[in-house]
């Protein structure tokens, strides 16, 4: 799959792929392009064809699939940065096993896309294309050139909107209502 266009999946969509005939797991990974660290994503792997061959057994993969939840929380006011945290993904279980580098390099062939709307806690740092501190074996998703932070426009407009409202209220109370 490496090099091909990858898809964005809704968290709810992943739940429909949690059986022996169709099994997806979601594991967090760092995305880079030409060794430049771009963003942390929740990567989606279709491991259906790998179930029987997985050295850790198929049950762990089946158990790890289908539980993903995204929770949206506002983290800072007045800029209202939305942070979508994930639970039920297989990242922790995958890392606890201490998979070898050869296991990690196998993953690319099962990669089918990433979870849309996920915003990692470190988004501001992670979206800086000049932060090049990616570990050498970070899992990559080539061909993903879209801007990683979907909230930037909203972050800018919301405070402006609130300021506009406050000004309108002040104008009305000071000039309009006094004339009646
Ligand atoms: C695309 C995803 C995955 C790939 C390609 C993969 C690959 C492998 C490979 C090659 C091994 C052999 C040991 C090694 O080389 O590290 C292994 C072992 C194992 N994996 Fe995975 N794995 C994947 C996902 C997962 C997930 C999501 C879990 C847990 C939820 C898991 C649990 C295990 C366990 C328990 C072992 C056995 C470790 C041992 O015997 O010491 N794996 N995996």
Render each residue's pLDDT in the chain as its tens digit; 180 residues: 444 447 999 988 999 999 999 999 999 887 666 655 556 888 999 999 999 999 999 999 999 999 898 887 666 655 566 667 788 899 989 999 999 999 999 999 999 999 988 877 665 444 444 344 444 444 544 444 444 555 566 777 888 999 999 999 999 988 887 666
What is the Å distance from ligand 1's center to 118 Cα? 24
DSSP 115-144: ETT---TTHHHHT-TT-----TT----TT-
Hey, what's the torsion of the CAs at 114, 17, 70, 116, to 10 degrees?
Answer: 30
Closest ligand 1 atom number to CA of residue 25? 27
pLDDT given at position 78: 55
Burial letters 85-102, b for 16+ CB under 10 A, else e? ebeebbbeebeeeeeeee
pLDDT given at position 149: 54
- Quote ipTM for the complex: 0.96
Structure tokens at 80: 């209202």
Is the Cα dihedral 83, 88, 93, 96 positive or negative? Answer: positive
What is the Å distance from ligand 1's center to 93 Cα? 9
Assess whether the C-beta atom of 101 lies below 6 angstroms from ligand 1.
Answer: no
pLDDT given at position 165: 94
Assess whether the C-beta atom of 94 lies below 6 angstroms from ligand 1.
Answer: yes
Structure tokens at 159: 């405070």
Assess whether the C-beta atom of 104 lies below 6 angstroms from ligand 1.
Answer: no
Assess whether the C-beta atom of 46 lies below 6 angstroms from ligand 1.
Answer: no
Contact 118, 70 (CB under 8 A): yes
Q: Whose CA is nearest to atom 25 of ligand 1?
A: 94
Q: Whose CA is nearest to atom 31 of ligand 1?
A: 94
What is the homologous superfamily of the domain 7-149 according to CATH? Cytochrome b5-like heme/steroid binding domain (3.10.120.10)
Q: Whose CA is nearest to atom 40 of ligand 1?
A: 56
What is the Å distance from ligand 1's center to 121 Cα? 26
């Amino acid at each position: 799959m490496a090099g091909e266009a990858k898809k964005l999946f809704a968290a709810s969509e992943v739940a429909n792929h949690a059986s022996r005939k169709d099994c997806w797991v979601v594991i967090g990974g760092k995305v880079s392009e030409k060794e430049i660290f771009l963003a942390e994503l929740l990567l989606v792997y279709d491991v259906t064809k790998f179930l029987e061959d997985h050295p850790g057994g198929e049950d762990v993969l089946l158990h790890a699939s289908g539980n993903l939840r995204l929770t949206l929380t506002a983290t800072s006011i007045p800029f209202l940065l939305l942070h979508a945290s994930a639970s039920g993904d297989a990242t922790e279980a995958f890392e606890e096993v201490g998979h070898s580098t050869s296991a990690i390099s196998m993953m690319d062939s099962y990669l089918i896309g990433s979870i849309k709307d996920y915003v990692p806690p470190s988004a501001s740092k992670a979206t800086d294309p000049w932060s090049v501190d990616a570990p050498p074996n970070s899992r990559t998703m080539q061909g993903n050139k879209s801007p990683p932070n979907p909230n930037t426009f909203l972050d800018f407009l919301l405070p402006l909107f609130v300021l506009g409202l406050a000004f309108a209220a002040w104008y009305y109370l000071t000039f309009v209502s006094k004339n009646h």
